[in-house]
Structure formats: C-alpha cells, structure tokens
C-alpha cells in the first residue's frame, strides 16, 4: 500500500491528520508530512483520511 498526497491539491485542511495522526501531520507552517512506514498497519485509518480530505488530494495505491 502506497500513499501519496498531491501537493497542488492539498490545502492543509488537516482532516487527514485527525483521521490518521500516526501517518499524516501538519507542521507549524501547515505543510503536510507523511510517515510512509506506518501506512501498512493503518489501512483503514488511511482510507478514512482519504475520504475526509476536502480537496481529494490523497491517492492510495494498494
């Protein structure tokens, strides 16, 4: 499972961080960071994050 965020679409809403804080986090400049290492163990939370993204910026490849 691979997760990518389109940096053009991402508007730093922070919905993904709420759905899967182990994977997605905004820094103080509201730039999004992804911990790819924890993606595989948190499939459902990552899918929830993708669904919650208002700009549909999160792409998941199984």
Partner 1 sequence: MRIVVAGAGLAGWRAAEALRAEGFRGDLVVAGAEAHRPYDRPPLSKGLLTGATGESTLALSDSDTEVTWRLGNPVAALRGRTVVLEDGEELDFTGLVIATGATPVVPAGLNRPPGVHVLRTLDDARALRADLTGRVLVLGAGFIGCELASTCRDLGLGVAVADPLPHPLVRVLGEDVARRVERLHRERGVRWLLGTQVVRFLGTDRVTGAVLSDGRVVRADVVVIATGVRPATGWLAGSGIDVSGGVRCDEYLRVLDESGAVVPGVVAAGDVARWTHPLLGAPVRVEHWTTAALGAAAAARTLLHGPQTPFDAVPSFWSDQCGLRIQGVGLPGRGEHVELVHGDLAGDKFVARYSAGGRHVGSVAFGLPRQLALERRRLTSA
Q: Which residues bind partner 1 (CB under 8 A)?
A: 11-15, 17-18, 21, 26-28, 30, 48, 51-52, 54, 56
Least separation, in Å, of the C-beta of 30 and partner 1?
5
Return the residue matching tokens 């997760």.
3
Residues sharing a CB contact under 8 Å with residue 53, sequence separation 6 or more, in sequence order: 13, 15, 16
36 vs 54 by CB, closer to partner 1? 54
Q: Are 12 and 26 in contact (CB under 8 A)?
A: yes
Nearer to partner 1, 29 or 37 (CB): 29
């Amino acid at each position: 499972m691979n997760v990518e965020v389109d940096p053009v679409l991402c508007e730093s809403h922070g919905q993904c961080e709420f759905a899967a804080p182990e994977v997605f986090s905004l820094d103080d400049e509201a730039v999004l960071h992804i911990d790819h290492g924890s993606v595989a163990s948190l499939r459902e939370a990552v899918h929830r994050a993708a669904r919650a993204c208002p700009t549909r910026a999160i792409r998941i490849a199984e």
